Structure 1
């Protein structure tokens, strides 16, 4: 596909038809359903939902992040995040500490119990990604990442790039 004109099935990439786009949209829906199925089962055992998973994931990626920074990454309301954080703190998965420089800030950290849950959730998703990436091959993986990054809004891309830099 070096010429950028065809896919494995020979469909043109330069002139995508609505039917091709619809198939892509449906593939995203079903892939997302599969991607979230394993973590959903784990979360359900604990009485948590996807909002809890996202909070735990991003707190783990940036231990000590502030509530305001997490709000920006997740793109949710303060009320919604506070509801999730109250549960995670009460269940001793997350610890909230007062900022040393600014006492109004709250810094969030996963507890050992929170880290264990995050590891279980992430491993379920990594296992699925590992199989998919191995099956598709390196060129497809690179193309997949390019597509995902191209679909991100500019503000989401900024957060993503910041997280990506932390893993290099």
Structure 2
């Protein structure tokens, strides 16, 4: 039997993550292709639907893209009726984003296509699979990202507590 070095294991895990991401996003890509959208549209619809009233500046920070990159995608989503943009009440310069009913339906359809794959993988991972996966992924995500989504941070805290036999609140 040939012993695998840590470097080889890490490379194999990197490849596994690549294929997992490819297939995970591929499920949604098929839905997006039907309406002429791509992954950038998916990310915008996802985050705007999850955070109604999201400021454009916050979305830029979450996605780590330029205003120019976001402008094209956002314009298409607004023009096709998936996203609505409103001015802030306190600060009229702010642009707040909301999903329309069409945007919510698209977000749900995209989420369902990916939830099926996630559910199957979690079931195959065993009774504590979800906690293990959440803990693993949380270690790969910058702590700065936790500020964007309290539910994300709560999931990570729960997973980390489950990993260590305790639940921290």
Same fold (TM > 0.5): yes
The two structures have a TM-score, normalised by structure 1, of: 0.85
Q: Deviations over 1:103-138 (max 9, x none)?
A: 000110000111111110000001110111011123
The two structures have a TM-score, normalised by structure 2, of: 0.84
Closer, same or farther: CA 148–104 of 1 in aligned 2, 3 Å: same
Q: Deviations over 1:28-59 (max 9, x none)?
A: 01101110111000001111110000000000
Where does residue 105 of structure 2 map in the other structure? 116
Aligned residue for 1:56, secondary structure, equals helix
Q: 1:164 aligns with which of 118, 143, 152?
A: 152
By how many angstroms is 1:165 displaced? 5.6
How many residue pairs get aligned? The number is 154
Q: 2:136 aligns with which of 147, 151, 156?
A: 147
Q: 1:97 aligns with which of 73, 82, 86?
A: 86
Unaligned runs of 5+ in 1: 1-10
Question: CA RMSD, aligned part only?
Answer: 2.0
Closer, same or farther: CA 166–140 of 1 in aligned 2, 3 Å: closer
The reply on whether 1:33 has 2:26 as its aligned counterpart is: no
Whether the 8 Å contact between 1:149 and 1:157 is mirrored in structure 2 is no
Whether the 8 Å contact between 2:52 and 2:97 is mirrored in structure 1 is yes
Unaligned runs of 5+ in 2: 159-169
The reply on whether 1:136 has 2:125 as its aligned counterpart is: yes
Runs of 4+ in structure 1 deviating by more than 6 angstroms, as ranges, are none
